[in-house]
Each structure stands twice: as structure tokens, then as C-alpha cells.
């Protein structure tokens, strides 16, 4: 187990290093931050002073080492736009995003798993057919368009839910559902297909043969095996959720870190973009690590293997 | 073809109709999509009170014809979907083919690690960052979507090549004196086309959605390009005053396009992927597109 942990930690660090370096390269390959930063009428001399003040006159290698040191200290400089520390700007917005992402995962699991079980109990039954059609639809409606439809119906036409802001839980209902929608369909299909497969397996047949009741067979014997792929997809979906959250936060004007990062992108506010990339990368790596651990807990077969 | 399930008739018909509309957009569109008529701004669709048949789907906030923008928007969507996936296929396919044919070695190891990293970062985020730094434009959007899609193909082709090269027919070809290049292109390539085609059918609708999403966020096509995503974003601001048509109607066109492509994609997978075909026979339908590579990806940590 220790070896497994160490390998994983090493891989995680490597991934983080690659991401951080890629961002550095990307920023330096695509343009001169000074060109973005400095007002057009700024004199050449002032530009040089600004360049020196930000350390942008040093050789690229020196800048890279400084940048890495800054990353290790969690110090990414201040936002070009507001002058506040970039890392703090992003971290302040993390709770809103986590609430949104957490709620949508909750909605997706709480609806998707029972739907999947329901569909699998009677394959090709009415529930199965309806859910299958809905899930095709679910994977065909873009997140931003679903958000717009919801806003039109619930905020404009019937005026029952707020269209923007993050004051109360009610503000999160539409964003969380928008973000969860595709995942409900995904989890339904996934649970259905894996459950149907497990129901044919020996251990399930044995359970049935020894007289275990059908609900217990499904919930205790089959579902546990069927949940394994769900855990994997869950981990992969976490990244997708953040990407989806960019759009959701924009449509519903939720003050989360993704919306912050998008605004930073519009303004080419490099320190904030960097801080965002770092925070997201760190979250990815942590989640993937937890998913691997969960895998070991759920499936004894993969435990203790590096 | 007899033993395969029949192609889905309705989605195919709709998709063909949409493609024809896109190709012959200048002939079909009632107006120039860019033409503004501020006197007629926010005219409702013809079937709503106050609408007129001169603008069958109404006009947007600048008085542009919504229907014409939808038809030209389909053009942009289809172009983005097909060209970007073609770029991914070529780029990823060649890398995967080389990695698989070369077999175990540092090149293969580094490449697969890169694939893992690329796949763990959401494509939207990469595309957003690149577009924000390099500027907007349809060509750039297509290129970026194409470039970030390489990893899936590299992995897929490499895996197929590794599986195929163990087989006797490859050994036989080698023994007959076929060169490495010949083995790759004449013997291995035809055998990886099946899974490749399945992935393409899954990726085209995703690329269409991605272009729309990027354009919706304002980092995709230039403001004058009639992209469905961009028009939805522009129409969105009038939603609160009750004008739903400039955003909802282009959105429905987008959903219809993606839905048809998804349904056809499901069928392609049923026909070409023996794994799924077997599953369907046992009453288990194809797993969702996103889940399929995912489960292959990390079964054992």
C-alpha cells in the first residue's frame, strides 16, 4: 500500500510540474505580458522600468526558476487588474464553485443511480425505454443552452427562481441542475449497463440460489460490483464538471472561481490565470488520488497492488 | 449489411436535410445573415402574434433574420465538427500508429504519459486558454479543437496496433518480406479503422458542441461569424424582456444537429464495435460514449 501511495504521489507531482511548465511556456510563447499590461501611450522608458520591476527582463530560464519558486510558495504575484494577490482572489471564490460542483454531483448521483437501477431491473420495460430516450437527449443538449431554457421558464416566464447571484440555496437550484443534467444521463446509462452485466455473474447467481431476496441481491451483491466503473467515471467527471462550471457560472452569474478565471482570461490577467490553473490542477490530482483509494476500498482485487 | 441493425432512418434524414441546408445556405436563407434592419428588430416568429412571414423565425436585437443565421450557423457548426475531428484523427492517428509500431520504448512511454495528462485536463479549459491568448477566429477555433483532440486517437490507434501486431497475419506479412511501413499502412491500418470510425462518430457531435460553447463564451469565432453558439449568446440578453426566439431557436437547431449525430453515432458503434455488438445481443446496450473510453482508461490503478 505504501509503495502504491508513493508511486501515486510521485506521478501527481510530475503531472503538476508538467501543467505548471506548460502554462509558463504558453504564456511566454503567445505574447509579451508588457504589451497587454502597459497602456498604449506609455513611453519606451517606462515600459523598460515596468519590465524590470516585474522581472520580465531576465533570461527565460531565470524567469522560469523564479516562477517555480513562486509556485512552491503559493506566491503568484498580484492581479494586473485589481492589484490583489492572485492566489487569494481565486481561493476566495473556491467555496462557491465547490458548492456548485458538490451539489451537482449530489443531484447526479441521487437521481442517476436509482434511475439506472430502475432501468436495469426490467430491461426494455417502460422505465428503461423512457430513461434511455431521456439520456440520449441529455447528452445532446449543450450545458449553456439548457441553462438558457431553464432561465426562460423558471425566471422569465414563471418567475419562481432567481436567474443570477449566489445569495441562498435557491440560487443554486438551476445552476446545479444544469450542470448535473448531462451527468444524470451518464450515470443512469452507466449503472444500468454495468448492473445488467453483474446480474449475470456467478456471485449474483449464488446469492439468488441461496434464497436472498431480490432487492438485497441487487442492492447488496450486484450494485457493489456495478459501482466500480461509476467511481472511475466519477473521478474523470470531476474535471469535466469544472469545465462545465465555467459555462454554468457565466450564465447564472455565480461568483465562482471559474467565472473569475474567465474574466481574467478576457483581460489577460496572467497571475490570476496561473493561480486558477494551479488550484484546478491540484484539485484534479487530489481527486484522482482519492478515486484510486476508493477503488482499493471498493474492490479488494486491486488492493495492495502498486 | 443484412445482419447489422438498420441505420436510424429519422436521424439520418434530418441530418441530411440539415447538411443540405448548410451547403446550399445562400440559396435557402431568406436574408443575408449579417444584414441588419433596426426598424424590424426583435420581430417575433411568424406564428406568434406580431410576426411576419418575411422573417419566419423572427429577428434578433439588431434586426438580423434569425432563420438565415440558423442556416449559416449550421454551416459553421458542421464545418467545425468535421474539420477539427479530421485534424485530431490525422495527428493522433499518426502518433498512435508510430508509437504502436515502435513498441515499448522511451518514445512510447513519454507519449502515453502525455496522453494521460492531456486526457485529464478538460478540453474546454485548454481551448479557452489558448483562444484567450491567441485571439478569436473560426480557423483558430477549429485548429484548437482539432489539436486538443489528438490524445484519444493516439491511445486508440496505439492500442489497436499493439493488439493487431501480435497476430499471425502480421507475422506472415513480415516473413514474406514486407517492410515496416508496408506492414503499418497495408496491414495494420485497415484493421484499426473500425474503432477509429466509432470514435469519430462520437467526437463530431462533441466538437460541434465545443465550438458552440467556446463561441457562446465569447472566445470562439469572431463576432461577425454566424455561429449558433455566438448567436445564442447574443440573443440571450433579450431573454429577460421576453424575446426568446433569438436564443432559443438557434439553440434548438444546435440540439437537433447534435442529437442526430449522437443517434447515428450510437448506430455506428453498434455496427462496428464487436464489443458493443456482443453486449447488445445479451440485452445490454452500448455504454455511454464518455464512459466507454473512461472505463478502459483506468481499470486498475
* Range from A18-27, A107-116, A174-183 carrying the lowest mean pLDDT: A18-27
Whether the Cβ atoms of residue A135 and residue A189 lie closer than 8 Å to each other? yes
Instruction: State whether residue B143 sits within 8 Å of chain A by CB.
Output: no
pLDDT at A293 over 80: no
What rounded mean pLDDT belongs to chain A? 81
* pLDDT digit string, tens, across residues B187-204: 777 778 888 888 899 899
Instruction: Please tell me the distance in Å from B270's CA to the nearest CA on chain A.
Output: 15
pLDDT at B183 over 50: yes
What are the percentages of helix, strand and coil residues in chain B, rounded to 5? Answer: 70, 0, 30
For residue B227, what is the DSSP state?
A: -
pLDDT for the residue A218: 78
CB contact under 8 A, B232 and A144: yes
Average pLDDT over residues A283-296: 77
More confident residue, B284 or B16: B16
User: Considering only CA atoms, which of A136, A233, A180, A141 is closest in space to residue B299?
Assistant: A233
Q: Map residue A128 onto helix, strand or coil.
A: helix
CB contact under 8 A, B133 and A247: no
Compute CA distances A270 → A31, B2, B3, whole Å: 11, 58, 57
* Residue B59 phi, psi (nearest 5): -125, 160
Average pLDDT over residues A219-229: 76
Give the whole-number percent of chain B exceeding pLDDT 90: 25
State how far the Cα of A292 lies from the Cα of A5, in Å rounded to an integer.
Answer: 10
pLDDT band at B296 (very low <50, low <70, confident <90, very high): very low
pLDDT at B286 over 60: no
pLDDT band at B2 (very low <50, low <70, confident <90, very high): very low
pLDDT for the residue A136: 83
CB contact under 8 A, B251 and A148: yes
pLDDT at B253 over 90: yes
pLDDT for the residue B76: 93
Whether the Cβ atoms of residue B291 and residue A229 lie closer than 8 Å to each other? yes
pLDDT for the residue B170: 81
Q: Give the cell for residue A221.
A: 451483491
Torsion of CA B123, B127, B130, B132, to 10 degrees: -140
pLDDT at A166 over 80: no
pLDDT band at B157 (very low <50, low <70, confident <90, very high): confident
pLDDT for the residue B75: 92
Select the residue of A8, A140, A250 nearest B262 (Cβ to Cβ): A140
Cβ under 8 Å to A: B residues 194-233: 205, 209, 212-213, 216-219, 229, 232-233
Average pLDDT over residues B143-154: 90
CB contact under 8 A, B262 and A139: yes
pLDDT band at B274 (very low <50, low <70, confident <90, very high): low
Average pLDDT over residues B232-256: 90
Average pLDDT over residues B20-46: 86
Instruction: Name the residue of chain B whose CA is nearest to A198's CA.
Output: B284
pLDDT band at A42 (very low <50, low <70, confident <90, very high): confident
pLDDT band at A303 (very low <50, low <70, confident <90, very high): low
Give me the sign of the Cα torsion angle B176, B177, B180, B184.
negative
Whether the Cβ atoms of residue B64 and residue B35 lie closer than 8 Å to each other? yes
Using an 8 Å CB-CB cutoff, list chain B residues near A18: 117
* pLDDT digit string, tens, across residues A139-149: 889 889 999 99
Mutating which of B77, B136, B216, B277 best tests the A interface, going by the most A Cβ atoms within 10 A? B216
Whether the Cβ atoms of residue B289 and residue A291 lie closer than 8 Å to each other? no
For residue B100, what is the DSSP state?
A: H
Mutating which of B284, B286, B297, B300 best tests the A interface, going by the most A Cβ atoms within 10 A? B284
Give the whole-number percent of chain A exceeding pLDDT 90: 7
* Range from A89-93, A260-264, A271-275, B182-186 carrying the lowest mean pLDDT: B182-186
State how far the Cα of B158 lies from the Cα of B296, in Å rounded to an integer.
Answer: 14
Instruction: Name the residue of chain B whose CA is nearest to A142's CA.
Output: B209
**What does chain B come to in residues?**
301
pLDDT band at B260 (very low <50, low <70, confident <90, very high): very high
* pLDDT digit string, tens, across residues A177-192: 999 988 888 888 888 8
Amino acid at each position: 500500500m505504501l509503495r502504491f501511495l508513493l508511486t501515486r504521489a510521485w506521478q501527481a507531482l510530475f503531472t503538476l510540474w508538467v501543467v505548471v511548465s506548460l502554462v509558463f511556456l504558453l504564456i511566454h510563447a503567445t505574447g509579451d505580458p508588457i504589451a497587454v499590461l502597459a497602456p498604449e501611450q506609455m513611453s519606451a522608458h517606462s515600459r523598460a522600468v515596468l519590465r524590470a520591476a516585474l522581472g520580465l527582463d531576465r533570461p527565460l530560464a531565470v524567469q522560469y526558476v523564479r516562477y517555480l519558486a513562486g509556485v512552491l510558495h503559493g506566491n503568484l504575484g498580484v492581479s494586473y487588474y485589481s492589484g490583489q494577490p492572485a492566489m487569494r482572489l481565486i481561493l476566495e471564490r473556491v467555496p462557491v464553485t465547490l458548492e456548485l460542483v458538490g451539489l451537482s454531483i449530489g443531484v447526479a448521483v441521487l437521481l442517476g443511480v436509482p434511475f439506472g437501477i430502475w432501468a436495469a431491473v426490467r430491461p426494455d420495460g417502460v422505465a428503461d425505454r423512457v430513461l434511455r430516450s431521456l439520456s440520449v437527449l441529455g447528452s445532446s443538449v449543450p450545458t449553456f443552452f439548457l441553462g438558457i431554457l431553464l432561465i426562460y421558464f423558471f425566471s422569465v416566464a414563471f418567475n419562481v427562481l432567481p436567474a443570477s447571484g449566489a445569495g441562498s440555496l435557491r440560487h443554486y437550484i438551476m445552476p446545479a441542475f444544469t450542470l448535473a443534467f448531462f451527468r444524470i444521463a451518464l450515470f443512469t446509462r452507466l449503472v444500468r449497463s454495468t448492473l445488467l452485466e453483474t446480474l449475470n455473474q456467478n456471485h449474483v447467481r449464488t446469492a439468488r440460489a441461496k434464497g436472498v431476496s431480490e432487492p438485497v441481491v441487487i442492492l447488496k451483491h450486484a450494485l457493489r460490483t456495478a459501482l466500480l466503473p461509476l467511481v472511475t467515471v466519477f473521478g474523470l467527471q470531476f474535471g469535466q464538471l469544472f469545465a462545465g462550471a465555467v459555462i454554468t457560472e457565466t450564465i447564472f452569474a455565480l461568483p465562482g472561481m471559474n467565472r473569475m478565471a474567465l474574466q481574467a482570461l478576457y483581460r489577460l490577467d496572467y497571475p490570476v490565470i496561473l493561480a486558477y490553473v494551479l488550484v484546478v490542477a491540484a484539485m484534479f490530482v487530489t481527486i484522482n488520488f482519492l478515486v484510486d483509494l476508493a477503488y482499493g476500498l471498493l474492490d479488494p482485487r486491486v488492493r495492495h497492488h502498486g | 449489411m443484412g445482419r447489422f441493425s438498420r441505420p436510424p432512418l429519422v436521424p439520418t434524414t434530418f441530418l441530411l436535410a440539415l447538411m443540405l441546408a448548410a451547403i446550399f445556405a445562400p440559396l435557402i436563407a431568406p436574408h443575408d445573415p449579417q444584414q441588419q434592419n433596426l426598424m424590424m428588430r426583435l420581430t417575433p416568429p411568424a406564428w406568434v402574434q406580431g410576426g411576419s412571414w418575411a422573417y419566419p423565425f423572427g429577428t434578433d436585437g439588431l434586426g438580423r433574420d434569425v432563420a438565415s443565421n440558423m442556416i449559416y450557423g449550421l454551416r459553421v457548426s458542421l464545418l467545425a465538427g468535421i474539420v477539427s475531428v479530421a485534424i485530431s484523427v490525422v495527428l493522433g492517428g499518426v502518433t498512435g500508429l508510430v508509437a504502436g509500431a515502435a513498441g515499448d520504448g522511451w518514445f512510447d512511454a513519454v507519449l502515453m504519459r502525455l496522453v494521460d495528462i492531456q486526457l485529464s485536463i478538460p478540453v474546454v479549459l485548454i481551448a479557452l486558454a489558448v483562444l484567450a491568448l491567441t485571439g478569436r477566429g473560426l480557423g483558430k477555433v477549429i485548429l484548437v479543437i482539432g489539436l486538443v483532440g489528438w490524445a484519444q486517437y493516439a491511445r486508440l490507434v496505439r492500442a489497436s496496433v499493439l493488439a493487431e501486431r501480435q497476430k499471425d497475419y502480421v507475422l506472415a506479412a513480415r516473413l514474406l518480406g514486407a517492410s515496416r511501413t508496408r506492414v503499418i499502412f497495408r496491414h495494420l491500418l485497415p484493421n484499426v479503422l473500425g474503432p477509429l470510425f466509432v470514435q469519430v462518430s462520437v467526437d463530431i457531435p462533441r466538437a460541434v458542441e465545443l465550438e458552440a460553447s467556446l463561441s457562446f463564451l465569447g472566445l470562439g469565432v469572431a463576432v461577425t461569424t454566424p455561429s449558433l453558439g455566438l448567436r445564442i449568446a447574443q440573443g440571450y440578453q433579450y431573454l429577460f424582456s421576453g424575446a426568446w426566439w433569438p436564443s432559443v431557436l438557434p439553440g434548438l437547431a444546435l440540439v437537433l444537429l447534435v442529437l442526430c449525430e449522437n443517434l447515428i453515432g450510437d448506430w455506428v458503434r453498434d455496427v462496428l464495435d464487436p464489443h458493443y455488438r456482443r453486449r447488445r445481443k445479451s440485452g445490454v446496450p452500448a455504454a455511454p460514449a464518455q464512459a466507454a473510453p473512461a472505463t478502459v482508461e483506468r481499470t486498475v490503478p
